[in-house]
A = this chain, B = another copy of it.
Amino acid sequence: MKVYLAGPDVFLPDAAAMAAEKKRLCALYGLEGVFPTDPRPDPAADAAPDLWYAIYLRNEAHIRACDALVANLTPFRGPSADAGTVYELGFMRALGRPVLGYSNDDADFSTRTRRFLGDAARRDAEGEWVDGEGLSLESFGLTDNLMIDGGIRAADGMLVRRAVPAAQRWSDLTGFEACLKALATRNG
């Protein structure tokens, strides 16, 4: 079973080392990890004129060629997960394959959004949290926007949320490994 390893890990200074470690863990559970920066599964495809678009097409081809997706949903430069990772999660869910995820921050989405907004967060006349422009906050106690938690639930996946010290949040793979274990068990 090929597993697409979605996440902002591609932005790490030591992304290659992270790719190797995630693949090593996959192998322990009988899975084959596919990192976004791996060579295209379809090398004969026409080259895209722009580097960024070539990367897009490669990632899309990888997702289509994989049987499942495990996403690093640790909040990235704001209250939510990395946008590219979220796009890929929705993409794989639409293909009807298993999606799982982990976050190395155990605060719920509403709490993180209020921290992000600071003094701009307030309660409206009905007592609901809103931002400085009056746009409401999701306050369901979820890990992220309900489309993320919902997609994983709809796919019968697993969403692991753990408290990890800030300095280790881009390197700790405990939640990642829990997802692999769940996937391997389900896979028989």
> Which residues from chain A sit less than 8 Å from chain B, CB to CB?
8, 11-13, 50-53, 55-57, 59-60, 77-84, 86-95, 113, 116-117, 124, 130-131, 133-138, 140, 142, 144-151, 153-154, 170
Is the beta-carbon distance between B135 and A11 smaller than 8 angstroms? yes
A52-B138, A77-B117, A83-B144 known, 13 other contacts, Cβ within 8 Å: A11-B135, A11-B136, A12-B135, A56-B154, A77-B78, A77-B113, A78-B80, A81-B83, A83-B86, A83-B147, A87-B89, A87-B90, A90-B90
> Can you list 11 pairs linking A and B with CB atoms under 8 Å apart?
A12-B135, A53-B153, A60-B150, A78-B116, A83-B83, A83-B86, A84-B148, A87-B89, A87-B145, A92-B94, A135-B170
Given A90-B91, A94-B94, A116-B78, are A13 and B130 neighbors across the interface (CB < 8 Å)? yes
Is the beta-carbon distance between B56 and A153 smaller than 8 angstroms? yes
* A136 vs chain B, min Cβ distance (A): 5
Question: Which residue, A116, A136, A137, has most C-beta atoms of chain B within 10 A?
Answer: A136
Contacting residues, chain B, for A151 (C-beta < 8 A)? 56, 60, 87, 91
